Structure formats: C-alpha cells, structure tokens
Amino acid sequence: MTETIVILDFGSQYSQLIVRRVREAQVYAELLPWDAPEESVMGLAPKGFILSGGPRSVYEAGAPFLPAYVLASGVPILGICYGMQALVDALGGKVAPAADREYGFAALDISQSSALLRVGDHPQVWMSHGDRIEVMPPGFTVLAKTDNSPMAALGDLEHGYYGLQFHPEVGHTPAGGQILERFVREVCGCQGDWTPESIIDQAVQRIQAQVGAARVLSAVSGGVDSSVATALVQRAVGEQLAAVFVDTGLMRQDESTWVEAAFRDNLGGNLVMVDAADQFFSALAGVTAPEEKRRIIGETFIRVFETAASELGDPPYLVQGTIYPDVIESRAPERGHAQRIKTHHNVGGLPERMDFALVEPLRYLFKDEVRIVGEALGLPAALVWRQPFPGPGLAVRCLGEVTPERVEKLRQADAIFTAELAAEGLLIYRQNQAAEAAGTAQAFAVLLPVKAVGVMGDQRTYEEVIALRAVTTVDFMTADWARLPDGVLARVANRIVNEVQGVNRVAYDITSKPPGTIEWE
C-alpha cells in the first residue's frame, strides 16, 4: 500500500499547495476536510498528519477543531498556522489574539535544532496570522521565533508533534519544501514510493480489478488528461479498450488530424472518429448562457457518444480524465464509491445518469503529475506537454452565441496567438526550460460578444473583439497572468486584426486566479 500523508483542510487558500509540496518529496498526500469521517481518513492508514491553515480563530465559538482520532492515531503531526493553533489547543495550550498581526516576509530565528529546521541561519518565511501561542502544551519547546512571534515554531520531539506559525508550502518560504520533506521523510519515516512507475502500477491494478474482462470506452479529446487516461487504461486492459473521438466543430485548429495521427498507431481499428459538428452547432443556436452551453454540449456529446458506443457493442465502462483539482474543487464523494459524470468534469455538462460506470485513473493526480505519468507511458512529449483544453472546447471561449462563423474567427485567432508564442519559446514544453521559467502554462484567445469601432483602409469598421489570455501556473489551482514581451503582444495583435476577418481589436487579460478563473466561461 502507498505511504500516505493526510492533510486536514481547515480552510486555507494554500491547502492544495501542501499536497503538492509533499508529493514533490515522492510521498503520496491526500487532502480531506477537517471534519471528514474518521473511517474515511484512517482507512488511508496515514503515516502522518499535516493540519492546514485557516481563516478562523480556535477560541471562536463553532471554530474547527482537531478531531480526537488524530491524536489517538499515535503518528506524527505537523500543524501550520491555524493547524498549529488547533494542535496546541487540543493538547491544553493557550491561543490568543496577537498584539501585532504579522503578514508577509519575516526572518526566522532558530533557537533549537530539530529535524525540520535545518535550513540555515535566519531563513526567510511567509507569515499570515493574527493570533499567537501564549502557553505551550506540556512537552513542547520553542524551536524558532520572529520579531513578532516568540513561538514561530515549536515541537514535542518525543511524540513527533510540530507547529509552524509560518507557511512552508508557499514559494515565499524558500526552504519550505525542505521543511515539509523532512517532516514526511525523517519524522514520519516515509521512504518515498510515489513515483511515476508506482503510480502506473497501482493504477493498472485498480483498473483491472474494476473492469475485469469487460469492454471499456474512452472519449479522446486530444487534451492531455484524456490522452494520458486513455493510454493508462490501454496499458491495463489492451484490446478491451476502444477510443472515440467526437469532432464537435469546437476544436482547435487541425485537432482531428492531430488526434488521429497521435492515436491511430496505438489503437488501430479501436479508434473511432465521429464528425458531429452540424449537430452541435444546431443544438447551440441562439444560446448565450455559459451553463446552458455546457449542458447542451454535454447532452449532445453523450447522445453522439452513445450512438458510437452502440456500434461498438455498448461497453459498460467509460474512461474519464478527471484530475485532482476537479475533485478538490467539487468536493467529490469518497474514493471507492460509484461515480457519475458531473458538469464540473472534463467533457462538460453531461447528464447526471448514464449507462456507463466511470473509470477515472487520474482522479488523484495533479496536472504536472499527469504529464510525467504520460511520459513514463511512452506518449510523445509534444502530446503530453501541449496546452490544456476545456472539454466543451471553443464554446466556452466564444462568449455569446456559438456559430460556425464566430468559432472559425476564434480558431484562427487562437492559432495565431499560440503559434507566435511557440516561435518565441514561450509555451511550456518539457525540454524548454526557458519557457518553463516564463511560465505560459496555458495561453489562448477568447472571442467577446461585443463590437468595437475601428478604422481599416481609411474606412470605419464595427467588428468583434478578441481577448488574449496567458497564465503562469504549476498546478492550475491558482494562476497569474503571464508578463509577455510587448513586442510579442504587438505582433500577435497585428496579425489577428489583419488576418482574421471580422476582428478589429485585441485586448490582453491581466486577471489572476483568484479572483478570476483561467477560462472565461
């Protein structure tokens, strides 16, 4: 069984980053609500607990608290910010409002050696708190302090209990990754068995146990998640798998050609290409509301898909490229229960009930883990590291009514934008370290449902507007807008206005996530 660290979520905006940092240490971590049922938490056989931060104060009425079973488990515990205060409170210490709130950078003064804090003299850490520890529980000692926090780190070394007032999971704490790695490796005793090979082996075993000798269908979109999910299931069941690509007419430029070339060699006659563009555009006529678009696309997709499935003998299982951010954001049911496709998932607003049981081999992986697994499965790097693409396709980037003419404008603009970024080495690609530093993990065009006045060829124009979106991110849970060079943006805008008929203005989106989302709809 995989070594597991459980992160109990007390509401911090950084909770998912703790999971990422632990997994970077090759130790599996799973995020669960602080009040998750004991059986679902302990069923994972955790080798340690990490308690996240949170927006509350432990002395408030109704504030989240540390469940008794965590202390009773006897395994090491690391509390971060609110998690530290919850740990201290549960063990009989005292937490109170701080005279001076502490937000931002601080220098850590390490007063006692410990497994966690072998990180040099006065390391920089990131603080974000308004409470502090006034009385430590029995058995604890102060490990470090800052100017405003006399107990910035404390520990009961005998029991493996640690508390950090700062946030080791964020990039603003440069040594934070080392601290978390030492907790899971040295304090919890994890060996580090979360590797691409082990992920594949365990996924293959789960898939085989789930489907047995039954046939399996996969909806291949050409995106990273569906491609890796399909390859993983094929590794597990071989000829039992058939893949269907439904061309909705809402795909990126040359998408159908790309998908067929990428999968035909591996899947042969088990790859079915379906051209259903006319059905989708007919169903979307006159619709402008984003959720209604998703619902219609999902409904149409599954009907087309069901027709293809019937021609393949109605396999009972469907591969879904759900990844861990989907699970976290939608607070999905406990693992192991039967799942149905929800509107949040990749394909879009699919019906609540269908005649398929889901196979979700990527359900507990982050995007970068999916890519690494894809490489380990032997998929081409150009496929594994390509840009993410939403299940509903260009429909959620074509704001307003979705028509063949408007989608074609968007498709051309999007192709220009991504081609220019690629030419400048600004699209993330595994072998392109400069691009990874630039961080354009996702870049695309959006067609807006507004028109603007322009002048072209000495004549007044009144045409549509394209917005460009490019973000920097690792896990896609949070993202910042990419600081693209002015010259690149100018060249892209000039090409779009000159080459895409019906567009006379280009804007650049500089909104981060949060408060915005990466996609516009």
**What is the set of active-site residues?**
81, 167, 169
Q: Give the three-state DSSP class for 311.
A: helix
Q: Is 411 helix (H, G, I), strand (E, B) or coil?
A: helix
Which positions ≥6 away from 363 have C-beta within 8 Å?
A: 322, 323, 324, 327, 335
- For strand 317-319 and strand 271-275, is the pairing parallel, antiparallel, or unpaired? unpaired
Residue-wise DSSP of 214-225: --EEEE--SSHH
Characterize the bridge pairing of strands 357-359 and 503-508.
unpaired
Note the helical H segments in 170-314: 176-182, 196-211, 224-237, 255-267, 277-284, 290-311
For the chain, give the longest Cα–Cα distance. Answer: 81
Q: Classify residue 371 as left (phi > 0), alpha (psi -120 to 50) or beta.
A: alpha
Q: How far apart are CA 357 and CA 352, in angstroms?
A: 12
Cβ neighbours of 356 (radius 10 Å)? 23
Residues contacting 310, CB < 8 A, separation 6+ = none
The two tokens of residue 72 are 């009773």
CA atoms of 232 and 205, how far apart (whole Å): 11
447 closest CA partner among 406, 481, 485, 488: 406
φ, ψ of residue 262 to 5 degrees: the values are: -75, -30
Burial class (CB in 10 A: 0-12, 13-18, 19+), 440: buried
296: exposed, middle or buried (Cβ count in 10 Å: 0-12, 13-18, 19+) = buried
